[in-house]
Structure 1
């Protein structure tokens, strides 16, 4: 029920009572909010993480689903005695599988559904809002308070919230002669159980709600929707919908703008009398203080003026490099914190949309993702300010003549770190973010060679121009999944393919086409089958390598570049494999590698010659 009470709660898992061959999760035994999908004979479609042992990846579980005239049941067995696992549904309403990791002395989440907290029906109870991006998913609506604070604090918010002041419902005596009012909440997924009525405008929709004592809220998007009970399952929008809902509250719960009108006018008039003097003093001091106060201390994005960035970068005098979407320059904040400033090219979004997308990117924090410090949007100028990475990009260390030679251990940790960053973008963000341009140039290294994925979110910032810029950039084509060429829809598995192509280069320390006239991924795929991987590396290199890690990395890379995206693993699965939590089977040789090897090999050789001459 809650973290302090093991009694049954509102959420339950059961075989579908309607007769389908699947498991369902329901709220209060009445509302089904997730299902496994019907058993296929070997797996449940909506549970790819718990795939059977004879498919990719090789998990430590075997599964059996029995359905006959006498009984219906599902079992899973752990085939590896070293693996300790448990499966439960908790106060979050999510069904979860966890594996005990001895080295960390902790339970590590292996599988969870629904993925998003707000995908759980009734998680926050009535008269509350679920926000998937917040530290605490549930919050009471304005004018409401937590109904059961003790359970709420112990993780069970299903009791929801209660109204602070009862609605007046046409009675004006106790509200100072005022009707109930409405509080607006924008960009939401509307609650369940609305009633649609005919209304020609938002005003007539509002009046229809006010005229009915049981009406608790309304919404209007061309159709008037009314709610006549407590609000259930109100959520922040996650699919870009911009619906607004108007919550009915007693007049005393909202400020009375009419009675304060003349008071506000008086303050404004008085303010104008001193404003002239204040403005003169303010602007004389502000110019000096603004730049000195631009230190990144509380995690919020800094809004830079273009003139400020000119000063902080010494008029963009030190160029760090040219990326896919613009040039990057070094600068420093007043507290000497180094920063990298990217001048974006090809951005045609309006300022409002650009700021909205940048704000979303700025909320994403992970040790393996580059941190956005701030931005500038003035006229046609669009700039992004990032934390500075002293060890530059991964390609300099893998391919550059002046780069630091990376040990196998460092390269393997870099590969695992990149996978963790991408898994976070794909599976942990409020909205799934597909990077679309994974390559060594977009992996930056900090002072301790911790990898940071850069340029995520560019697809949204550039909009329609992204594909044109991406496919025309030198050095990108060898990492692109076949979906880009065939015109199929781009999913997270496109990033998985690019990661695989890059992983081959991390393994070898060379470009894929620079292996004595052979294409390295093809060599790996063939030698894996023969069990002769060590032949691809000199004795000096192989002595430095952990052969178990090498075998895992090569198999992962080959699985990542399979022709069919459904055969490729997720980034979360890749992390588990690289960390040794699950085994991986022998991959087939991808047909696409043969085709890609012919074109990319010559492309990369000419690209190397061009770069050497520049």
Structure 2
């Protein structure tokens, strides 16, 4: 019997409905969650030509070509860490086009990215949860719902958790990250937070855009707290909404204030737009252009009000913005106080020719002065004091951290005005013509006037001259004295030239971190009060930034040796960024002082957790596995993902730091060496720590595989819970590598598993399997060792360990296993000059 006309009509209606109203249904979406704990594993990755990768959990189905929302894990080209994200992909013939990169419009775990093996699951206690491979929960919606029926992605890009009767119990639209989609609201109390940079989205940046009842505010975070650079005043605002063609303000009763309160967007009213608050503080709108198949910026919303010069980092430190162009303060009285940090990039800002010194101001032969700039003000001016201009300058002079006195005098007063005393580098701009006040900036600079001889010195000189006239033989003695003085001044100026060269070099290193004065660091560390570690030629102190952030300040000693290592460390880690590398916040290069400021790692260095059994420091197997993988990822980034290969050359437990969550970060780049991509190996002198040195160091011809060898030693130490050389062990077991070889041959590796850890013993089989990775890394022939990226794949279970492994491990002799070697360079021909380090030890 045929189908009735009624049923045919129903089916036809459903077909038309599905065509005109696309709904969420990927390979599985909306996802029904009946067991309240359904794991969503990453699906097959999609790689794009811009270097990014996505692992799609679900996508919006559409029968048309063009952009489409999807949800899953996202990783960009600057990292191997993943974010749970919503992104827009471009489809053609129902296939994702890898030529057009994903546009990320929402991220869940921006401050805590995860590895490739992370999962997502639902929980009645916490809602949607992102979990690391080791079981650590890194992000959750934190909702309590007895019943979660489905996970749904709407065709507007809103990710929803649905409860009973398909009610929404949580949605991503209520938790914006750095972007807004069409129809999405930013309510009072919510904010957008910029990413760290346009290419590095796995970390929050300095800028935030927030809404309160008085309007929309944009801030830049600094050591002094939030600095406001934009305010759109709108009384009793309830929310702002991104609408097609505008960004509009609404009151509590959802009434639009009026067209004059809108940000109007000059657009063709495309249905594919998104708004992003970006790493430079701009709020930009992007629109899909079907004709050119690209995302194009169609509006820069805040600029209409504050202009191109209204952004805090437009010209960076000390730079003056004029009509969107940057310049340094002009010389005064033929004295040049400032220079461009990068001549080809004026927006990088300016630096002082002579750095400020609080100590110098206390010396009568030095004079601190101000460079006066009329009609110039700070982009982020705020009122610190209400005083006259002289009192404003005096307050700055008394504060070593103060960089300038920026004064705005009221026109109705003969002398009183607002005084702003910034303590860090700032961007300047020409002050707007205003009937209420005039602006003047007094930048603190340092001069070195000629010394005036004292009366005693003058009298002494007269006596010498009189003596020379009377006694002709004194001419020879005086001539000899002049020669000695000449030699002294030659040496003095040579050293001064070296310092100036170093100062100039540091100011031109790309991506430089914050530069601090020595006085700044004295304040941060309470005059270097709390010693938290040290070794070699340096000491590490605990400090605190103005915003409360804890830091570790590494102070280098031994001025004759440290300059090159200091340059190596600043140049290497100052220009790179990875989750598993220690973050360099700033540095100090002033007079003989050389200091480095790092983000504080609350759990210290790895050595105390695997060697100091009596102090109560223990690590379970899961933490050790994670630490091993973190170290491997950090080294992989250095070897393969930087523009130049970076060989660390001193990988050891003391140089692995652990944060509060036991995330491992590779530290101490004082011995590191940059290797061009077209170089297979380099010739250099031996450097590193005995016991961790690869055999090929004896030939001085090395590759990045020396780090792989050192990693193998560290891996073995972590698994065995002991140092590579331990005098407390029986004589046959003192040298770990020799003992390891013996146990391998006897197939008794279980005997090496850390016997002080019950958890390690329980997972002994897994530990023994990982020892094979160590054996592979310890091959005497460096060509047979794996790359660090292969090691990562092995640890993640993607690749198997090489079967053809030789167990003839060897190591250069260990005269003092706790020392750090720095042999002199001999006959290296055209090899790259060595940058030796003289600092070792824990943080």
TM, length-normalised to structure 2? 0.37
Tell me which protein shows more strand as a share of its residues. 2
Q: Which has the higher helix share?
A: 1
Using the size of structure 1 for normalisation, the TM-score is 0.50
